[in-house]
Each structure stands twice: as structure tokens, then as C-alpha cells.
Structure 1
Amino acid sequence: MSGRHRLTSVDTVEEEGTWLFTVRDEHGEDTEVLLVLCRDPDGDGIEAWVNSCTHESQELYREGVGTVVRDGGIVCPKHGSMFDACSGHCDNGPAAQTTLPSVEVSVEGGQVYLTDDDARFLKQGPSSDDDSDDGPNSTSHLRL
């Protein structure tokens, strides 16, 4: 469906911490995806995960806030579950024993490319232009 599409540079993801973009999936649905750094020596340094906690579909990346990443993990702002940035797996909190859905990307010459055949790049940023400032529905002690 997509072929190969240049998304951004590795340097940009490093500077911003995460990078959000929107794809259209194989079912015609618009899906937000976040790029994160992966410090796994066997990987290429960047992984892409669907921007939704597996527990309650809470956004992991919020426009204007970004994503909370600690100790190599993506933290859900609602309940504090932490997903490994390299594997997407969670072993704590309400999302324990689940894994974030991945989107295939590759890194070449310091550039990040969307290479997932089931996703077509739509745009950088969120799937909608809803500027709602409601923030996450948090029941945890996390502050963003």
C-alpha cells in the first residue's frame, strides 16, 4: 500500500524525544503513530508504535506535550503503564502482558522511512486538527 516514504531524521526524533505522524491503515482508518528512540544495540535506533495504550485507548503522545519516556519506556499518562520503547511490551500496571501495535519503519543514512505495506502516510502530526486541551484523563500521579 505505501511503498517507502521519508518521515523525518533520526536527529529530529532525538531532539524532540518522539515524533508523531498519521497513516491510513489497510482498513481505511486514520491511525496516529509515534516514533521513539530505541537503545537496543541490535536495532536501528527508531521504533514506531500506534499512539494508543492497549489498556484504554489513551493517547501516549499529546500534541503540545509529547510523550513521557523514562528509562527506555513509554509511559501511559492515564495509569502509568510503561511500554518498552524497543519491543512495545508492557509488564506493569493495567496494560501488563500486552504489546503496542507496531508500524514498520527503517533507518537509512540518518533518515527514517515508513516501510509498512499496510500503512499509507497522510501527514505529520495528529489525525485530526482537534485542538481540545482536555489532556489525558489521568488517575495516576504522573504530571506532564
Structure 2
Amino acid sequence: MAKQELIKATKNLRNINGIPKPSPDMAFQAFKMLADAHHEYKMTVQIETTKREAINAWRDVNVGKIEQQTEFLKAYLAETFKERRHSIDEMFERLDKGIEAGNMDLVNMAMESITTIVKSSPLKEAEKIIQALNDPNIEKIEF
């Protein structure tokens, strides 16, 4: 019985009128669709490759900029702390001399100078320098 049902189903499939018969025009249209899809794929690949290259170039420029800023800030902070240390050492020498000589004016002056130096923060100045580094209108920074 199953064999008869299979034969019947096959005959019914052959009788379906809605399926067009293949023609050379249909084959051409299918080929054209494939060619268009391939062309779109190639264009997409090219566009995305260009985008990737632009992103990589942007990354390289910005990484280089950050590296330069890092070196600049390291040099700035090293020089600033070196200068502060020298100034504080000098003020302590004057403080010692003022104490030894009993010169209260020299002691007060040295203490005020040390306090002034210690109150100022090189990191606040570094923040200003970072802002200046990122400002395209500033042509040069000196310290």
C-alpha cells in the first residue's frame, strides 16, 4: 500500500502548475544575482578594510601622542622635584644657620619659604601642562 501512495504523491507533484519551467532567462537572472552579490561583497570588504586602516592609523597617531606626553611629563616632574629638593635643602641650610646665629628673622624667612614650597603642588602644575598639551592653540610649553 505504501508503494501505491508514493506513486500517487509523485503524480500529484508533477501536476502542480505553479512551478515555472527553467529557461535560459532564469539562468541568466540567477547568474546576474550571484554576480551582483559578489560585487557587493567585494565593495563591503574594500570599505571595511579602509575603515580598519583608518582606525589603525588613528590608533598609531594617538598612541604616539600619549607616549610623547608621558615622556614630557616624566621629564617635567623629574625636573620640578629636583628643583624643589634643591630649594628645600637650601632653605633648611639657612634655617640651620639662623638657629645657630640666633637670627630669628632668618629662621622665620626660611620657615616661610619652606612652607610656601611645600604648599605648592607640582601635580597641579602637571594638570595644567596636560591641558596645554591637549590644546591645539598652544605652540610651545616651557618649564
Structure number with larger C-alpha Rg: 2
TM class by smaller structure: under 0.3
Normalized per residue, which structure has more helix?
A: 2
TM-score normalised by structure 2 residue count: 0.18
TM-score normalised by structure 1 residue count: 0.18
Normalized per residue, which structure has more strand?
A: 1
Which of structures 1 and 2 has the larger relative contact order (alpha carbons within 8 angstroms, sep 6+)?
1
